[in-house]
Amino acid sequence: MTITVNGIIHGRRIDLDQEARLPNGAPVVVHIETRDLSLEERRNLVLATAGSWAADPSLDGIFEEIVRRRRRDSERRVMFDDPA
């Protein structure tokens, strides 16, 4: 039996857009075919994920280290006219 259902991958899990009408625990073989997202789908994806780390305390140490390095290191001069 072959059923075609669209879905979205989340790590090792796939969320289907509709019921597959198979019992829980049924063994299946998954053939993955990617599709391009519409402009609206891409916008929604960005809006859903933008700022998702804003309140993540595990990042505090990383950003503190960035600030320390910026204060410690002297500024670099970039000479755009010099050959590479």
Number of domains in the chain: 1
pLDDT tens-digit map of 30-61? 899 988 999 999 998 888 888 888 788 888 99
Q: Which domain holds residue 58?
A: 7-72
Question: Is residue 33 in a domain?
Answer: yes
How many Cα atoms sit within 13 Å of 35 on the Cβ side? 8
The closest of 8, 62, 66 to 35, measured between CA atoms, is 8
Question: Is residue 2 in a domain?
Answer: no
What is the Cα–Cα distance from 41 to 47, expressed in whole angstroms? 10
pTM of the model: 0.43
| 70 vs 51: which has the higher pLDDT | 70
Question: Is residue 77 in a domain?
Answer: no
Q: Which pLDDT band, with edges at 50, 70 and 90, does 65 fall under? A: very high
Question: Is residue 20 in a domain?
Answer: yes
Task: Say what percent of the chain tops pLDDT 70.
Answer: 99
pLDDT at 70 over 80: yes
Question: Is residue 84 in a domain?
Answer: no
9 DSSP β-pair partners: 14
